[in-house]
Amino acid sequence: MPKWSMVVFGILLMGCSAPVDTAMKSWHGIGTVHNLEEIIIGRCYNYIRVMNPTVGEKNCSAIWETFRNAFVYKHPCNVNPVDYDAFIRLALHDIPQDKALFWENTKLLVHRYSDKTRRMMPLGETLIGFLADDLDWCGQNESPGINYQSCPTTTECENNPVNSFWKIASESYAKEAVGIVRVMLNGSISDGAFPKNRFFAKHELPNLRKSNISEIQIWVMDNIDGPDR
């Protein structure tokens, strides 16, 4: 990933410095993907018509509107998980019993194993997760309200639109888990298979509803060529 540098232009006029235009600030992250609206709405129809029609009818246009309202024309460091509440309510659906699959550092393996909800249904294969998976987005106060040039990383500010989205998405997913719950962890990671500062430990495990869970299975998967830590 290229390194970005922040350039601030100051204008001195009649002894007074002009205010800095925040729209000129370059963040370190990738900017909003172009055609975000078409991607979100297209993914929505693909999910409810082809990938998982068992969720029933969803208003994909309304889902997009609530999604965009969470971050458009807002400072990209001031978007909180609660800003996506309306979106979550529209896109939420039940997780089939015994099909919840949580993970850390095993995303590719998880989705190959889950087989597009045929075997399991991890967050990325729910409607909420499927809509946003692998996308980047953020807003700005200035027109057009969306920043296509750069977005802040979590290092720059935690309450950025993408990080806040996955927080509430993870918490909502955990609350819907029923029956046997599986967790796939990576046993080859140097900092431990169960990182306590990542999403499963911070946002998913605390939101599992004990009354809904009959068993938790922990799968520790090693890379084929190691190491086995």
Helix (H) or strand (E) holding 183: strand 179-186
Report d(CA 101, CA 178) in Å as an integer.
Answer: 11
SS3 176: helix
The strand pair at 29-30 and 12-13 is best described as unpaired
Question: Which residue in this structure is represented by tokens 């190959």?
Answer: 112
SS3 146: strand
156 contacts 29 by C-beta, under 8 angstroms? yes
pLDDT digit of tens for each residue in the chain (229 aa)?
A: 443 333 333 333 333 333 333 444 689 999 999 999 999 999 999 999 999 999 999 999 999 999 999 999 999 999 999 999 999 999 999 999 999 999 999 999 999 999 999 999 999 999 999 999 999 999 999 999 999 999 999 999 999 999 999 999 999 999 999 999 999 999 999 989 999 999 999 999 999 999 999 999 999 999 988 898 8
- Residue 41 has a pLDDT of 98
134 contacts 124 by C-beta, under 8 angstroms? no
Domains delineated in the chain: 12-221 (1.20.82.10)
67 contacts 164 by C-beta, under 8 angstroms? no
- Residue 170 has a pLDDT of 98
Cα distances (angstroms) measured from residue 195 to each of 15, 31, 40, 184, 190: 53, 28, 31, 13, 10
SS3 110: helix
DSSP tag of 132: H
- Residue 229 has a pLDDT of 87
0.85 exceeded by pTM: yes
